[in-house]
Amino acid sequence: MDMGLSGKRALVCASSKGLGLGCARALAAEGVDLIMNARGQDALDASAETIRAEFGVEVTAIACDVTTTEGQAKLLKAAGDIDILVTNAGGPPPGVWSDWDRDDFIKALDANMLTPIALMKAVLPRMMERGWGRVVNITSQSVRSPIPALGLSNAARTGLTGYVAGTARQVAQHGVTINNLLPGIHATDRAVQLDGGVAKAQGITMQEAREARYATIPVRRYGTAEEFGAACAFLCSEKAGFIVGQNLLLDGGAVSLTM
Ligand code: NAP
């Protein structure tokens, strides 16, 4: 299937590793030039170089914190007129409902709600003028099925989801689509971190922690960044122009829902 993406330009935030990198690689495989980002320079440069060598696309690597206004300004300057925006950042820490104060919420809202909103507000006007654009926000399964220990994430990402639901329907007439991808558990550093926490708390091995989690997922494994990236590339493609304001769960069936 020709995705119609060759020669387009994408800003993929938080993309030196994990799901962001999966999206960057899948877009590059379709001939998309990239602006990639992460805070750590070394891993970012290494991933950018691998993508250049493997797919022959142009890659600009910008090391900065996407959740700061300075970081966003740097990225937007380097990006210029882009066709595709993929928003992403690290997730907030776990805890219980009574742990978090105002500052914790502000930090989570900044990272996982206000940052993607600021980036969308910056790029949407030119996409609309040019009559084509794609935005994909990486959110979480917790938007459909809240994870109790991730209250900060539940709150911030649900706020973003509400904003996208309204905004996507205001920009679609200009050829611009906005959709969200909701990862369930994927085999990235984040999964290693979560399994490490469970192993320590329960006095079990990492493998035991992993197997216990596999048992809760109908496909009995974690998702891969490659699978995740493929879904992102499809939502960004020419073929997906009628998909607007959707929340696509990629969770191996873990969340049991009829719709
Ligand atoms: P990951 O493997 O830990 O990768 C995170 C990537 O984002 C790295 O490249 C990291 O590089 C970059 N990054 C983190 N914070 C950043 C910041 N403030 N500014 C710029 N770059 C930043 O994480 P992941 O598994 O891909 O997860 C991506 C998102 O999906 C997270 O928000 C996570 O909570 C959410 N999610 C993941 C899963 C899962 O199972 N993996 C499930 C549900 C939701 P640097 O550290 O060098 O900046």
**pLDDT tens by residue, 146-195:** 999 999 999 999 999 999 999 999 999 999 999 999 999 999 998 998 89
Say if pTM beats, i.e. exceeds, 0.85. Answer: yes
Nearest of 106, 113, 88, 66 to residue 20 by alpha carbon: 88
Report yes or no: 41 and 65 within 8 Å, Cβ to Cβ. Answer: no
pLDDT single digits (tens) 80-110: 999 999 999 999 988 999 999 999 999 999 9
Using the CB atoms, write b or e for 216-254: b if 16+ within 10 Å.
Answer: ebeeeebbebebbbbbbbbbbbeebeebebbbbbbbbeb
CATH of domain 9-184+225-241: 3.40.50.720
Report yes or no: 202 and 151 within 8 Å, Cβ to Cβ. Answer: no
Ligand 1 atom 11: the closest Cα is on which residue? 38
Amino acid code (one letter) for 230: A
**Ligand 1 mean position, distance from CA 173 (Å):** 32
Average pLDDT, the chain: 97
What pLDDT sits at residue 197? 86
Cβ(115) – ligand 1 distance below 6 Å = no
Q: Which regions of the chain carry the CATH code 3.40.50.720?
A: 9-184+225-241
With 90 as the cut, is the pLDDT of residue 247 above it?
A: yes
What pLDDT sits at residue 188? 94
Pocket residue to mutate for ligand 1, from 17, 64, 137, 160, most atoms within 8 A of Cβ: 17
Which atom of ligand 1 is nearest to 38's Cα?
21
What pLDDT sits at residue 94? 87
Cβ(89) – ligand 1 distance below 6 Å = yes
Ligand 1 atom 17: the closest Cα is on which residue? 65
What pLDDT sits at residue 206? 94
